[in-house]
A and B are shown apart, each in its own frame.
Chain A
Amino acid sequence: MTTTSHPSYLAPKRRRGSGLTTWADRHIKWLFTAPAIVFVALLIIFPIAYTVFLSFTDSASSVTRPFSFVGFENYGKWLGDFERFWPAVGRTAYFTITALVIELVLGLAIALLLRKTFRGQSIVRVFILLPLVATPVAVGMMWLLIFEPSIGFANVLMKSLGLPAQLWLSGTDTALNTIVFIDVWQWTPMVILILLAGLSTLPEEPDEAARVDGANAWQRFRHITLPLLMPTLAAAAILRSIDAMKTFDIIYATKGRTGGSNNEAETLNMLAYNESFGNSQYGSAAALLMLFLMFIIIILTALTILRSKGHRA
Chain B
Amino acid sequence: MITRSRRNRRAALAAPLALALAAGLMACAGGGGSSEKVTDLTLIAANSPWTEGLKDLATEYEDETGVKVNLEFYGNEQLNDTLKVKLNAQSSDFDIYGYQVQDIMREFSRNGWLADMTDYVESDADWNWDDFQESSRDAVTLDGVVYGVPVMTERHIMYYRADLLEAAGIPVPTTLDELDAAAAKLNDPTNGFYGIAMRGAKVPLVTQFSSFLYSYGGDFQDEDGNATVDTPEAKDAYAFYGKLLKDYGPPGATNMGWPEASAIFAQGNAAFYLDADSQAYTFLDPASSAVVDTVAYGAFPEGPAGSHPYSIVPQTVGINEYSKKKDAAWEFIKWVTNEENSKTLLADDTVPSARDSSWADDAATASFPAGLVEIVRNSEGTVGHDRPQLEKVAQAREIVGAPAISAIEGGDVDSAADKANTDFQDLLDGEK
A residues lining the B interface (CB < 8 Å): 61-65, 144, 148-151, 165, 167-172, 175, 255-258, 260-262, 274, 277-280, 282
Contact = CB atoms under 8 A, between A and B. Distances in A.
A64 B201 contact: no
B90 interface: yes
B392 interface: yes
Contacts of A171: 252
B191 to A, nearest CB: 11
Contacts of B203: 256-258
B405 interface: yes
A61 B394 contact: no
Nearest 3 interchain pairs by C-beta: A170-B252, A170-B255, A62-B111
Contacts of B395: 278-279
SS class of chain A's interface: helix, strand, loop or mixed?
loop
Contacts of A257: 77, 203, 394
Contacts, number: 90
A144 B251 CA distance: 14
27 contacts: A61-B111, A62-B113, A63-B88, A64-B111, A148-B263, A149-B250, A149-B251, A149-B252, A150-B192, A150-B252, A150-B264, A150-B269, A151-B260, A151-B267, A168-B252, A169-B255, A170-B251, A256-B257, A261-B200, A261-B401, A261-B405, A274-B394, A277-B84, A278-B394, A278-B395, A279-B395, A280-B84
Interface of B: 77, 80-81, 84, 87-88, 90, 107, 110-113, 192, 194, 200-204, 250-257, 260, 263-264, 267, 269, 391-392, 394-395, 398, 401, 405
A261 B269 contact: no
A195 B125 CA distance: 72
Nearest to B192: A150
B394 A279 contact: yes
A181 to B, nearest CB: 16
A261 B194 contact: no
A65 B110 CA distance: 9
B194 to A, nearest CB: 7
A259 B186 CA distance: 33
Given A62-B111, A150-B264, A151-B263, A262 B250 contact: no
A61 B255 contact: no
Contact of B255 (A62, A65, A151, A255): A255
A226 to B, nearest CB: 41
Contact of A277 (B80, B194, B392): B80
Nearest to B189: A150
Given A150-B269, A151-B269, A261 B251 contact: no
